[in-house]
Every structure is written in C-alpha cells, then in structure tokens.
Amino acid sequence: MLKLWLKRGFIAILIITLPFVGYKAMRFIPDQMIKQRYEITVVIKSMEPSMEFWQVLVDGVQVAAKEFDVDVTVTGPPNESEIDEQIRLIEEAIEARPDAIVMAATDYNRLVPIALAAKKKGISVITIDSGMNSDVADSFIATDNFEAGRKAGKAMADQLDANAKVAIISFVQGTATQIDREGGVLDSLMEAGITVVGTYYSDGVEEKAYQITSELSEKHHDLRGIIGLNETSTVGAGKAIRDLGLAGQIQLIGFDSSIDEVKLLEEGVMQATIVQKPFNMGYLGVKTAVEALRNEHIPDRIDTGSVMITKENMYVDENQKLLFPFVEK
C-alpha cells in the first residue's frame, strides 16, 4: 500500500509541475528554433513597373518563396538612382527584424554600413545582381559583369573597323554592376583598337539615354557605335537612333531583354544584346538565404551567366525563353 501511495503521489506531482517546467523550458529555446516560417526581405534597385529585368527577378523570388515555404516582402526605391531611399528601406527592414535580407545594392560603397548594421542584428545578408565593397554578404549571386561587358565590347568590335568611335551609355555611376560592365567593355574595345569618346550616365532613365544619344549624334558626326549597359540605357539609345534615322550608321549593342529591346533587334536598330538571367538571381537569392539560415554550406559567389542574343539567334528555343520569360503565378 505504501508503494502504491508513493507512486500516485509522484504522478500527481508530475501532473502539477510539468506544464510549468515545459513553459520555463520554452523560454530558453531560441526564437529561430520555434519559428514556423522564415521571414525574408528582398530589396531591389527599382520598383518601376516598366523595368522588366526587376519584374522577372521578383517572379523568381516569389517562386522560391512558395517552394521553400517562406514569407517574403519585396521592396525597393522608385528608380535605381535613389540610393538614399534604398538605404532608408533597408533601415526599416532591419527594424522589422527579418531572418534574412536579400539586396541588390544601388551603390558599391554607400550600402556597406547598412549591410554591416544588419549583420550586427543577426540578420543574414545575401547580395544579388550588384555587390558591395565588403565581404559582409554571406553570398553574392549575379552575372559575371566584367565578362558580360567583354562580350558586349567584342560584339561591337566585330561590327566595326579599327579606330572607329564608340560611346558608352551607362546607368547609375558607382554601382558594382556598372563598374564591372564598363571595365569589361573597355577591355575588349581597347584590344580591338576602338576609340571610346566617353561614358555617359542615364541614371536608369530611358528619356535621359534618348537625350544623351541625340546630343552625341550631333557632337560626333563620325560616331559609329553605342553600347548601352542596362535595359533603360539601351532602349533610350535605340529609340533615338531609330527616330533620327541612324539605324545602320550607328551600331547598338545593349544589355538585358524587354519587349522594346526585342523590337529593336527585329528592326535591325540593335545588333546584339547581352541577356542575363534575372529569374535565376531572384530564385537563388531566396534559396541561398534559406540555406544560410539552416546553417548549410553556401558558396561565396554564384555566377548566373549571360548570353549574347542577335537577330540571327533570337528565335532559338533557349534564347526565346530568356527573351520571353513566362512565370506561372
């Protein structure tokens, strides 16, 4: 009888104390151990709806979010030149304490302090498209922009004789993407003996690229080529060349893909465009963030590749997928 009484007393004590013990134990479990879904903030360079590059990248983000069952918030400044606004948005994201921030830096140097601030708060940082002058990011996912620039420069050199004059229309000065692409272009053109009259900045605004091209055609009557380093710079230059009746006289090599760029290729206004894989960047940005949060091994850098597309090869199946990315939503 004594043993039975002791057994019943022990069970009663367990029933009374277990909930309290369980509650106390839960207090010492880290938040990330009990969180059901990771929260990831993706900060892109531009929320401008007409920028097809960023729209396709966000499609990749959303597909990865669904596949890996994470909550994703996508934000960014109205256009690529608003560096201060992007910094402010990242500051807001840090205050919200997501598990990871995936960001495309609008400036090579100025985004470094805010990225460091995120890391100090225990937030994983992944960079996509454009990196920073720091190794703060857990991984960098982008095109090899120097090599892509070399492709653009070689494509232009193949169109022209040595000593021909070419201009470069870039986008926002000071981004890692711009620096690397311009470096690659200059490297190829120098090898070919092509003269570069200068690099001009559209600030990611199509109308400004149009104006720059119009002014260049008046100032340099012997200009034979323009290389646009992103979508808006290319489209603005192409529309100006077409409107001025200079198609064929001024060769155009561009970057990225959009409906406008496809038309420029079909019309013969643009001779080639270097197409990136923005869907892959967005998808891999989220995937790599999740892997980092799970403490899995991730590479320091992932090259998403680039392809040169011309009027002659634009109808190849693989190139059609790059020119006309379709994402089921």
Give 133-171 as a DSSP string. SSS-SSEEEE--HHHHHHHHHHHHHTTS-TT-EEEEEES
For residue 95, what are the CA distances in angstroms to 32, 166, 221?
Answer: 17, 47, 54
Cα separation of 176 and 138, whole Å? 17
Write down the pLDDT at residue 6.
Answer: 44
CB 43 within 8 A of CB 265: no
**Given this model, what pLDDT does residue 303 score?**
96
Q: Is the pLDDT of residue 1 over 50?
A: no
User: What is residue 184's predicted lDDT score, i.e. its pLDDT?
Assistant: 97
Mean pLDDT over the full length of the chain: 89
**pLDDT score, position 320:** 83
Does residue 15 register a pLDDT over 70? no
Average pLDDT over residues 289-309: 96
Say if residue 155's pLDDT is above 90.
yes
pLDDT of residue 8: 53
**pTM, two decimal places:** 0.82
pLDDT at position 70, please? 98
Q: Is the pLDDT of residue 10 over 50?
A: no
Residue 18 has pLDDT above 50, yes or no: no
**pLDDT at residue 319 above 90?**
no
Most confident of 6-15, 28-37, 106-115: 106-115
Separation between Cα atoms, residue 158 and residue 68, nearest integer Å: 44
> What span, in angstroms and rounded, lies between the C-alpha atoms of 124 and 70?
14
pLDDT in tens, 73-127: 999 999 999 999 999 999 999 999 999 999 999 999 999 999 999 999 999 999 9
Mean pLDDT, range 212-223, rounded to an integer: 97
pLDDT of amino acid 235: 97
292 pLDDT higher than 50 = yes
pLDDT at 100: 98
pLDDT-derived band at 158 (thresholds 50, 70, 90) equals very high
